[in-house]
Amino acid sequence: MKQTMSYRLKLLQPICRSAILLPRLNLSLFFFRQFSSHLSDKRCVPPDLLSHKDWLSQPQVIRIFNQIKDPDLILPLFIQLSNRKDYNPNESIYSTVINKLSAAGDFDGVETIMQRIKLERRCRLSDALFRDVIKIYGHSAGRINKAVETLFDMPNYKCWPSVVTFNCVLNLLVSTKKFETIHEVYARAPSLCVEVDACCLNIIIKGLCECGKIEAALNVLDEFPKQKCVPNVRSFSTIMHGLCELGRVDEAFGLLDRMESEGVEVDAIVFNTLILGLRKQKRFREGIELFNTAMVKGCKPNPGTYQEVLYCFLDAKCFLEAKNFMQKMIEKGINPSFESYKLVIKGFCCQNLAEDVEWSLKEMVRHGFVPKMGMWKQIVRCVLSTGVGIDTRCVCVYFDEIIGK
């Protein structure tokens, strides 16, 4: 036993001697604890590592940081390793240290590492590393201004942002409602050597629409050819949604005509937006007719399209037509919403259509919805007032289920 222990200590001596120690941290003790626990595991510590007197490979450095459990050790250890003769960082090492600091919530430490990277300039960095750092600042740390500064500072690291990273910052500004900064970032695109694409302009359109600047968003459509870009369906649908939210549905239809004239293929989201806009203005029949127009034009509706049309029938109090439309939806494997069943049952009860109430109740429960007590009261009143007998077993079984819950 003594000989084995002595042999292990002898093997560890070159590593301990190679560490440059700081008063706050005994690095040789750290290496001892890390390596001695893995001497028996050849997959964790390569045997030839111990034969080198003053050398640690880059994968080994990454492995050491990945094994650290105390976040307070990350930054001091990195500083000590940076003073070693064999210090040879690459992007993977930087990325590992940054991710460890971020996971520990030490965002000041991330800033420290980024400053050291700028001063060291020991290796070339990819755009992806900066994109990750921007996401850390923006999403994890909530330091939006620091995320923007990182984008602007990339040339000082001899790295130029891609349009993906540029758009990442724009998206971050829109999602955090920093609308006043969006134009500032967009204006810096030429100095950052970023070629603006359609995605970039779409993000700007989204930001302008969310802050109510529809006219400015419309002007961005004219910016597409200047940037040698072509607006797509998302460019138009975003502005359409903004117009419909403001009640300017007819102007939204004007954009639909423009899409068709410019050869932009219309999708289900566009029709959903327009049908919803018409419904909010109580133009229910126009919404239903628009659905039929979409079908004629070969546009494949999605479940949201069917649901919006169903609401048009229900809002117009055309409950029998709504029932027929619900049957078509069910045949296509599209389940109407709970609110749809609630409204159609209420409508049938008001019109004393007991048999239609029974159908709605069965379909509702068959699709996993549980009627509320208020709905049961409506159903009972309808049955008692009409004197028409419906399948009482259906009512009792599901009423017992409600009581049980």
Stated as kind and residue range, the H or E segment containing 289 is: helix 284-296
Q: What is the pLDDT of residues 99-109, one digit of tens each?
A: 999 999 999 99
Task: Estimate to the nearest angstrom the gap between the alpha carbon of 140 and the chain centroid.
Answer: 14
Residues 6+ apart with CB under 8 A from 183: none
User: How much is the mean pLDDT over the chain?
Assistant: 84
| Residues facing residue 25 across a β-bridge | 22
User: Which residues have C-beta within 8 Å of that of residue 96, sequence separation ≥ 6?
Assistant: 62, 65, 66
Find the mean pLDDT for residues 250-272. 94
First to last CA, the chain: 67
Q: What is the CA radius of gyration of the chain?
A: 33
Tell me how far apart the alpha carbons of residues 211 and 223 are, in angstroms, rounded to a whole number: 19
Least confident span in 223-227, 299-303, 373-377: 373-377
Q: Indicate the domain borders of the chain.
A: 1-122
pLDDT of residue 318: 96
Distance (Å, whole) CA 274 – CA 286: 10
Q: What would the two tokens of residue 389 be?
A: 């007998």
Q: In which band, very low, low, confident or very high, does the pLDDT at 214 lie, cut at 50, 70 and 90?
A: very high
The phi and psi torsions of 100 (rounded to 5 degrees) equal -65, -45
What does the pLDDT read at residue 400?
53
Closest to 307 measured CA to CA, from 266, 331, 285, 275: 275
- The CA distance from 278 to 15, in Å, is 75
Sign of dihedral through CA atoms 292, 297, 300, 302? negative
pLDDT score of 332 more than 70: yes
Q: How far apart are CA 40 and CA 280, in angstroms?
A: 71
Cα–Cα distance, 48 to 310 (Å, whole number): 72
For residue range 10-63, list pLDDT tens digits in order: 444 443 443 333 333 344 444 434 443 443 343 443 333 323 446 788 998 899
